[in-house]
């Protein structure tokens, strides 16, 4: 997984299995983990590694840049990622950039939020809602 440093924006490569541990940026030495912001998934391989190897639940937002409701839910996911830092990982999959993932999970509307536990889909919801509503509906 590539994780952007919140301080200097440098991307650092980290194994998904260790996202609950502590790590520092290679460039500026700022704390990278636990992840307190959504992680942009850059490839199918990164997605598979994250969902398969993460010890924490992974909430994946399937979204697109042209989608108004997706832009409305983005700040709520930022809040959720900060609130659940260390106990859950929030990831974002751009459906235009990763159409094979959209097809694999039969994404028919966006935003669609899918919760993965132990490498398997546990729950799914669609539509824009507040961070508290997302957490309540997905059992986070």
Instruction: Tell me the catalytic residues.
Output: 67, 70
- By the 8 A CB rule, do 32 and 25 touch? yes
Q: How many CA atoms lie within 13 A of 87 on its CB side?
A: 7
Q: Tell me how far CA of residue 3 lies from CA of 7, 65, 82, 129, in angstroms.
A: 12, 20, 15, 26
- Could you tell me the CA-to-CA distances from 129 to 1, 32, 88 in Å, in that order? 27, 28, 18
Beta-carbon count within 10 A of 90 CB: 26
Q: Are 23 and 12 in contact (CB under 8 A)?
A: yes
């Amino acid at each position: 997984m590539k994780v952007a440093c919140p301080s200097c924006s440098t991307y650092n490569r980290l194994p998904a299995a260790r996202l609950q541990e502590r790590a520092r940026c290679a460039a500026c030495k700022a704390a990278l983990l636990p992840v307190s912001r959504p992680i942009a998934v850059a490839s199918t391989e990164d997605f598979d590694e994250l969902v398969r190897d993460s010890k924490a639940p992974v909430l994946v937002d399937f979204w697109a840049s042209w989608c108004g409701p997706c832009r409305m839910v983005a700040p709520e996911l930022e809040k959720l990622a900060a609130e659940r830092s260390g106990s859950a990982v929030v990831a974002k999959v751009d459906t235009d950039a990763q159409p094979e993932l959209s097809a694999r999970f039969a994404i028919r509307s966006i935003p669609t939020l899918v919760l993965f536990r132990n490498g398997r889909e546990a729950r799914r919801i669609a539509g824009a809602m507040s961070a508290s509503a997302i957490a309540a509906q997905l059992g986070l």
